[in-house]
Structure 1
Amino acid sequence: MATKGKRLRVVYETIDRETQYDLSDAVKLIKNGAKAKFDETVEIAINLGVDPRHADQMVRGVVSLPNGTGKSLRVAVFAKGDKAKAATDAGADIVGADDLAEKVSGGEIAFDRCIATPDMMAVVGRLGKILGPRGLMPNPKLGTVTNDVAEAVKAAKGGQIEFRVEKAGIIHAGVGKASFSEAAIAENVKAFVDAINRAKPAGAKGTYLKGISLSSTMGPGVKLNVANLVGG
Structure 2
Amino acid sequence: MITVHHLNNSRSQRVLWLLEELDVEYEVKRYERDPKTMLAPASLRAVHPLGKSPVITDGALTLAESGAIVEYLVDRYGGGRLAPELGTPERLRYIYWLHYAEGSAMPPLVLKLVFNQVETSPMPFFARPIARAIVARVNKSFIDPQIALHLGYLEAELEKSLWFVGSEFTAADIQMSFPLEAAAVRAGLDSSRPKLMGFLDRIHARPAYRRALERGGAYDLLN
Alignment TM-score, normalising by the size of structure 2: 0.25
Structure showing the higher strand proportion among its residues: 1
Q: From the CA coordinates, give the structure whose radius of gyration is larger.
A: 1
Structure showing the higher helix proportion among its residues: 2
Alignment TM-score, normalising by the size of structure 1: 0.24
Between the two structures, name the one with larger relative contact order (CA 8 Å, sep ≥ 6): 1
